[in-house]
Amino acid sequence: MPAVVQPSEQMSGMTPMASGELHRILICQPHGAVTVSTFLAQVRGLAVQLPEARHAINLCEDRYRFLLAFCAAAIRGQVTLLPSSRAPDIVDEVLARYPDSCCLGDGAIVPSPHSRYWRLPETLAEIDGDMPMLEATAVVAIGFTSGSTGAPKANPKTWGSFGTSTAQNLAALHDLWPAQQIPQLVATVPPQHMYGMEMSVLLPLLGPAAVHTARPFFPDDVARALNQVSAPRLLVTTPVHLRALVEAGTRLPALAGIVTATAPLSQAMASAAEAEFGCEVREMFGSTETCIIARRRTARDSAWSLLPGVQLAPQPDGTLVRAAHLDVPVMLADVIELEGDDRFHLRGRNTDLLEIAGKRASLGDLTRKLLAIPGVSDGVVFQLEEADAAGVRRIAALVVAPALSEAEIVARLRTCIDPVFLPRPLRRVEMLPRNETGKLPRDALQALLRSGVQ
């Protein structure tokens, strides 16, 4: 296990903004690396320029500038707000909820209202000084759930809890790269998402790691970014991006490992990725409410292994999570089955489980069966909000399958799904309304279904 600060040391008192030696590389970018020392000097320079506000919505596209804005806001005592999406409507909702906010960004796209948007300067001023220290109990960020199971919920995060959860994440990943070496990360996920925040912001800031500034999307862009960092290389991604990399046959440089989260990863895809890229694919389990709490090597294991200090207690309507980085236990909608003290199997979500005509099924399992049909490139099965005349909430599906008709898809589902769980309606669409991390907000699914787009 790497040398990390123990949770008891991180949850109280003043703690440093960055770990390690000041000369260690924190940021990798095409035109040169940035050390911790230079980064902190630019954080101090930016902090004195930020607009007066109690909260700051960080919309920066460049990961380095996101890091700068996040740390500068923390020095100023501003709480960074992390909306579930940077879509203007979502940003406007958060601004309305937190009227004492400003928006920080690095691009020309200005969310309304314009007067509350502040663009980071092109040239970054530097101010020398001592290591910035933050009170462990200070709330530095508020993450919002994705809305995939309802309205987004706010989840405050303290600096001390971030430090403790980062120590746990390092303990869960450190065996992917050689001891005493520092991994360099490339992440396809935005830093505004809690998984992206943990893996591509906090991990390099508080642990022995460096991160590339870009957020590559297409397979060739991912390969290009990975070739711009040094070994050991770690790819932080999602099942959607991983599937695209495998199907494109993209050649990647040698990887120490691939980390994935935000949506279920099938064992078949994990095995295909390991064979294609010659490294372990490690799947992480967590939520905005809890941060990462478990890991597994999906190609080999169906059970999840809990991170140090995490305990689960099954409840009738979900699972109670206790962890060193959580001030109070958190209830999740996930239904689990314990295997010993430190392993569990995920059986679905209480909102995912169906019971119709005395029969039971899982929306997740129905979706997996849909995706297993040859010719289906993407799809989702979900339950409608409104009940029909008989009081039953129908099951619907949206499918991306250019070469198949809706009738053909339904016919193939009949071979593996009980008739009472066949999606009605099932509609073909050009693409699913996935957000930046590959998740499917319920409102977007309902809207697309209602639109009848073929």
- Note whether 413 and 425 are within 8 A (CB): no
Write the single-letter amino acid at 275: A
**DSSP annotation of 381:** E
The series of mean pLDDT values per 10 residues for the chain, 454 residues long, is 41 87 94 94 97 95 96 97 81 89 83 75 95 96 73 88 95 93 95 94 96 94 96 95 92 97 90 97 95 96 94 90 93 89 84 66 85 90 74 83 93 88 91 82 85 57
pLDDT at 157: 96
Reported CATH class of domain 7-347: alpha beta
**Sign of the C-alpha dihedral computed for residues 448, 350, 319 and 269 taken in this order:** negative
Measuring CA to CA, how many Å separate 109 from each of 89, 119, 225, 364, 375? Answer: 14, 10, 24, 37, 38
User: What residue segments make up the domains of the chain, in order of their start?
Assistant: 7-347, 353-451
Measuring CA to CA, how many Å separate 91 from each of 53, 57, 142? Answer: 16, 8, 14
CB atoms within 10 A of CB 271: 14
Q: Exposed/middle/buried for 443, CB within 10 Å: 0-12, 13-18, 19+?
A: middle
353-451 belongs to which homologous superfamily?
ANL, C-terminal domain (3.30.300.30)
Residue whose pair of structure tokens reads 């960004």 in the numeric block: 105
Q: Exposed/middle/buried for 228, CB within 10 Å: 0-12, 13-18, 19+?
A: middle
pLDDT at 1: 35
Peptide bond into 423 cis (omega under 30): no
Residue whose pair of structure tokens reads 């040239």 in the numeric block: 123
Phi-psi region of 188 (alpha: psi -120 to 50; beta: other; left: phi over 0): alpha
Question: Of 217, 191, 226, nearest to 83 (Cα)?
Answer: 191
- Note whether 176 and 254 are within 8 A (CB): no
